[in-house]
């Protein structure tokens, strides 16, 4: 794991703050958790989350800009997946932490 000592590096603190702001949106978190399972298109995500297609597309754009998801095109279809394993690890560690202290009953594996 990366070992970092703060030592007054405001740029790192700012970037971490922005990163966690992105993760603080419930719709974005739902999208990321659904992408643990498999890559999905906007329509699949929209059906499962229950918000508008426009909202899903907007949230995916934010997640793409933050390098949390990536996409691939097959013909006219666009499929989204997690950018890399770090994204899933961060969320699963947070879920484990909450589970450990009673915040959630069962963290997904």
pLDDT in tens, 24-72: 999 999 999 999 999 999 999 999 999 999 999 999 999 999 999 999 9
CATH class of residue range 10-83: mainly alpha
Cα separation of 89 and 96, whole Å?
10
Q: Which residue has the higher pLDDT, 9 or 46?
A: 46
For the chain, give every domain's residue range. 10-83
- R_g of the chain computed on alpha carbons: 15
Which helix (H) or strand (E) element contains residue 90? helix 85-100
Question: Dihedrals φ, ψ of 46, to 5°?
Answer: -60, -45
Residue from 73, 71, 69, 72 nearest 82 by CA:
69
Quickly state the pLDDT bin for 105 (edges 50, 70, 90).
confident
Q: Quick one: how far is CA 75 from the chain centroid?
A: 25
Interhelix angle 53-65/42-49, nearest 10 degrees: 110
Instruction: State yes or no: pLDDT of 2 exceeds 50.
Output: yes
Q: What is the mean pLDDT of the chain?
A: 91
């Amino acid at each position: 794991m990366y070992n970092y000592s703060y030592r007054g590096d405001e740029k790192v603190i700012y970037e971490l703050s922005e990163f966690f702001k992105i993760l603080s949106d419930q719709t974005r978190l739902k999208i990321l958790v659904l992408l643990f399972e498999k890559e999905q298109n906007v329509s699949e995500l929209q059906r499962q989350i229950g918000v508008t297609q426009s909202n899903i597309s907007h949230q995916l754009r934010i997640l793409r800009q933050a390098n949390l998801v990536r996409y691939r095109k097959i013909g006219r279809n666009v499929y989204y997946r997690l950018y890399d394993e770090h994204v899933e690890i961060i969320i699963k560690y947070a879920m484990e932490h909450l589970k450990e202290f009673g915040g959630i009953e069962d963290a997904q594996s």
